[in-house]
Amino acid sequence: MNNIFKGLAFILALGLGFFAKDIYQTTQNSLANAKPKSDIEYCHLSTAACSINNARIVLEQDVVSPMQPTSIEVNWPENSDEQLWIELEGKEMSMGVAKFVLSNQGNGTFSGSLLLPVCHSDSMTWIGSIQSSTETLPISVRMQR
């Protein structure tokens, strides 16, 4: 009887070892899906003005193409900083953080351009923020080849 339990324990340990990677990936996917979604509401940038926290943001194109500069303009009358910073990160694919600077043109208007890198996907969403010295505006940009 004792040898039967040893044999079953051995077979069970062998089976767990063989399927350990699959079990691990399944539990990680389940945990990732169970995490609550962020409550952040992103300002989806396009040619239609997006307004958030008394700032108005307009992108030159509705959909940005990779490696093609796209102008962006932020009208933020309450902000007198010399420049704003944009940080964007790929939502569907990790591609690092793309950083850009917007220069103050006077009267609370800031302008600059975005130049996003090429990725393997045909389309991707970039999420991030426009930052001043005191405030942060959550934004998202759609990129497509």
What are the DSSP calls for 99-135, one per residue?
EEEEEEEETTEEEEEE-PPP-SSSEEEEEEEEE-SS-
Q: Give the per-residue pLDDT at 58.
A: 97
Q: Give the per-residue pLDDT at 88.
A: 95
**pTM score, two decimals?**
0.70
Residues 93, 54 contacting (CB under 8 angstroms):
no
Q: Find the length of the chain.
A: 145
Mind listing the pLDDT tens digit of every residue in the chain (145 residues)? 678 878 888 887 777 777 777 777 777 766 655 444 456 789 999 999 999 989 999 999 999 999 999 999 999 999 989 999 999 998 888 888 999 999 999 899 999 999 998 877 788 999 999 999 999 999 999 998 8
Q: Give the per-residue pLDDT at 84.
A: 97
- Kindly tell me the sign of the dihedral angle through the C-alpha atoms of 108, 109, 115, 120: positive
- Name residues whose C-beta falls within 8 Å of residue 113's C-beta, 6 or more positions apart in sequence: 69, 70, 71, 72, 100
* Residue 30 tokens, joined: 């389940």
Residue among 74, 67, 72 nearest 115 (CA): 67
Rounded to whole angstroms, the Cα distance separating 126 from 72 reads: 15
Q: Which domains does the chain have, with CATH numbers?
A: 1-34 (no CATH), 43-144 (2.60.40.1930)
